[in-house]
Amino acid sequence: MALKLKKTTSVTREHLQMELGVDYYLEFETQPYKATEIRARAPKEGEKAKEPPLLCDVLAYSEDAEGILTKEYTIIVNSVLKSILDEHYPEAAVIGERLIVTKLPKVNGKDYNRFNVSNFDLDDGEDAPVDDTPKPNKKRGK
């Protein structure tokens, strides 16, 4: 009798290092959370102690000849990405959302990267129904 072993969940996850200009198709499995604080060197005089980074568990989608593949990762959520997620997905609303996240170059004179974030759906091969019902113009009340 052959054993049929199947991985159910990962205890640890690989870190996804996001590259500039690459679209990452991510499904958010957790809201951003603080990493475990690791005892680091004492800050130098005049330096602030570093805060642990914010992390988020995601499922990354990619496509090849055999179909759609997924892999579990953890990403670092910087303050710019956190503010985007907080603004559009308050509280835990980001959990289960499928987002395309693109890391953009730093703006001249700034010390942080910007991000472009949009939603995506998985295409199951069928066309989504089109709602072509005329919508009222909210400005004019029609």
Domain presence at residue 124: no
In a domain? residue 70: yes
Task: Specify the pLDDT at position 23.
Answer: 95
Q: What is the mean pLDDT of residues 37-53?
A: 75
- Asked if pLDDT for residue 30 goes beyond 50, the answer is yes
Residue 103: which domain range?
15-34+53-119
d(CA 4, CA 68): 24
Residue 72 burial (CB count, 10 A): 15
Name every residue whose Cβ is closer than 8 Å to that of residue 69 and which is 6 or more positions away in sequence: 61, 62, 63
Q: Which residue has the higher pLDDT, 85 or 3?
A: 85
| Residue 48 resides in a domain | no
CA distance 24 to 102: 6
| Number of domains, the chain | 1
| pTM confidence score | 0.73
Query: Quick one: pLDDT at residue 60?
Result: 93
What is the CATH number for 103?
2.40.50
Give the model's pLDDT for residue 130: 42
Residue 81, SS3? helix
In a domain, 96, yes or no: yes
